[in-house]
Amino acid sequence: MGRPPLWSPTQEDYSRIFREQNPWHQSGSVPEALAPAVERPLAKQLWHRVLREEPSRFQLVLGPRRVGKTTAMYQTVRHLLASGIPPRRLWWLRLDHPLLIPLSLDALVRFVAQTAKATPEEPVFLFLDELAYATDWDLWLKTFYDERRPLRIVATSSSTAALRNRRMESGVGRWEEQYLAPYLLTEFLDLASRPVALGADSDLAGAITNAVSGTTDLSGLAELRTRFLLTGGFPELLIPLTSASPDAAGEELQLLHAQRTLRSDAVERALYKDIPQAFGLDRPMVLERLLYVLAGQITGVLSPNKICESLDGLSQPTFDRYLSYLERAFLVFTLPNFSPTEKGVQKRGRKLYFVDGAVRNAALQRGSAPKQDSVEMGHLLENAAASHLHALSQQAQVRLFHWRHGGDEVDLVYNHPESPLAFEISLSPNHSRAGLRAFVSRFPRFKGRCYMVSEVDHAIPPEADRDSIGTLPLDMFLVVVGKQAESQLLRRLL
């Protein structure tokens, strides 16, 4: 016979957990430590979507570690309390708690619904933090929805676990995924009390046209932008940057602290906890080495054969699988080579970017070194442009590509069905436009919709250029894309 457990949780243990995780049941409010006053756009609007009767959908908040997913949920609880929802109908379950992990999601939800006396007229609002720790979470959500249980569910998942062997058909019509990206430059400028008065439009092309023809002052952003790029778009790391500018030594200490935090929490926890848990990976050190190799190739076109050789003969299938893990962990993303037809889109020739370039810097422990290396800073600026456009593409459901044919290439192709755009990113305003000209010659629907993005002072519309290629200041591009991403998020939620 096996030994009896040294300790078994009692009903009082579970009652204590529920009290600790739901402090508003006693106090009627969410502690400020859990729900700070500063809110990201998702937190400002998600509660509206949760309250909406039709179409009623569960909400899954996905994104990298440390971008504020849990905080956004706490702030949503605060909004619901302020709207008049009684505290007893708002329940929080942190599913990675050691005593809750062994319990079935169905048993937990039944307990909550019974305790809250949930009815179709007064449903319980259930907040599931770290949803993927629950076994068969997707099938249970499908069951809850199909059985019309009196539930409104908001859930988070850190990285890969939410995508583990998911039955995609389970979520259709039942839940919506809200992608929470790291801060974009627009959010940081708002946080730093340096907001930019640029508006969004029905699509990115219109927003750019409005910005180019406007008179918005974008001067003096370079220093703030550099600090933002090196620190990364992670809320708790950015807030110290909004205070008075430190001296050089203090700024370096802030940056080193931020990079140590990102390396420990965003990189190592994804590599050694999230991915092994989700996929049963038994060689996380190889995955870590692969990430370092990729960090050295940021903004480059991947060469799987060379990468496999540098990793002691890693096989091609293993490389593809490991790269997909890093993408699902929201550490990196890749862009395929553009083709006007789906059949022509190739898996090979993908271009690599980090979801936030600061994660790359943290992985390589670069400190402030990129500031003294114009080539490296150029790669980080291109990565920033790509990550901003990637965040917009997630909200607008528009596919993003790069393009390369022979010696010609274009960094970013935003393939909007009615208003497509193409961008070449460079530090230098004198960068060759040959790639954009070749691209337009091959794909005429992009004529008048191509831009060179660089560190220039003034925008030039495409119609003022003999090749119909416009010019955008880098900060204008980042701000316009950021504003458009926020606008698209609001359209999805309202």
Residue pair 176/397 in contact by the 8 Å Cβ criterion: no
Q: Which amino acid is at 340?
A: P
**The last residue of a domain, from among 165, 180, 195:** 180
Residue type at position 267: V
Q: Is 258 exposed, middle or buried (0-12, 13-18, 19+ CB in 10 A)?
A: buried
- The whole domain housing 372 covers 186-493
Q: Which of 159, 180, 201 is the last residue of a domain?
A: 180
Q: What are the φ/ψ torsions at residue 347 (nearest 5 degrees)? A: -75, -35
What per-residue confidence (pLDDT) applies to 1? Answer: 46
Please report whether residue 1 resides in a domain.
no
Give me the pLDDT at residue 6, please. Answer: 55
User: Phi, psi (5° rounding) for residue 197?
Assistant: -85, 70
Which of 138, 160, 180 finishes a domain?
180
- What is the Cα 99 distance to its own chain's centre? 30
Q: Residue 399: CA atoms inside 13 Å, Cβ hemisphere, count?
A: 14
Residues 456 and 346 placed together within one structural domain of the fold: yes
Phi, psi of 9 (to 5 degrees): -65, 145
Closest CA to 394 of 202, 178, 76: 178
Whether 262 and 234 have beta carbons less than 8 Å apart is answered as yes
Collapsing DSSP to helix, strand or coil, 233 comes out as coil
Q: Are residues 202 and 320 in the same domain?
A: yes
Q: Are residues 158 and 282 in the same domain?
A: no
For residues 104 and 197, membership in a common domain is answered with no
- Whether 27 and 76 map to the same domain: the answer is yes
Residue 441 is assigned to a structural domain of this protein? yes
Residue 198 corresponds to which amino acid? Answer: L
Radius of gyration of the chain (CA): 24
Same domain, 133 and 250: no
Beta bridge partners of residue 332, listed in sequence order: 354
Domain membership flag for residue 71: yes
Crossing angle of helices 222-231/374-396, nearest 10°? 80
DSSP tag of 1: -
Q: Per-residue confidence of the chain (494 residues) as pLDDT tens digits?
A: 455 555 678 889 999 999 999 999 999 999 999 999 999 999 999 999 999 877 789 999 999 888 999 999 999 999 999 999 999 999 999 999 999 999 999 999 999 999 999 999 999 999 999 898 888 898 999 999 999 999 999 999 875 555 545 555 566 789 999 999 999 999 999 998 899 988 899 999 999 999 999 888 888 899 899 989 999 999 888 877 666 566 666 778 888 889 999 999 889 988 998 888 778 888 899 999 999 999 999 999 999 999 999 998 899 999 999 999 999 889 999 999 998 777 666 666 899 999 999 999 999 999 889 999 999 999 999 999 999 999 999 999 999 999 999 899 999 999 999 999 999 999 888 899 999 999 999 999 999 999 999 999 899 999 999 999 999 999 999 999 999 999 999 998 88
Q: Is residue 4 part of a domain?
A: no
Specify if 136 maps to a domain: yes
User: Is there a domain that residue 401 lies in?
Assistant: yes
Residue 63, domain CATH:
3.40.50.300
Q: Is 368 helix (H, G, I), strand (E, B) or coil?
A: coil
Residue 5 lies in a domain: no
Helix H or strand E encompassing 36: none
173 and 199 both lie in a single domain = no
What is the pTM (predicted TM-score) of this model? 0.92
Are 252 and 354 in the same domain? Answer: yes
Same domain, 26 and 44: yes
**CA gap 253, 108 in Å, rounded:** 45
One domain for residues 127 and 223? no
Q: What pLDDT score was predicted for residue 20? A: 97
Q: Hey, what are 462's tokens?
A: 């495409």
Q: What is the tally of structural domains in the chain?
A: 2
Task: Copy the structure tokens of residue 185.
Answer: 């430059």
For residue 2, is it within any domain?
no
254 and 342 in a single domain? The answer is: yes
Same domain, yes or no: 81 and 215: no
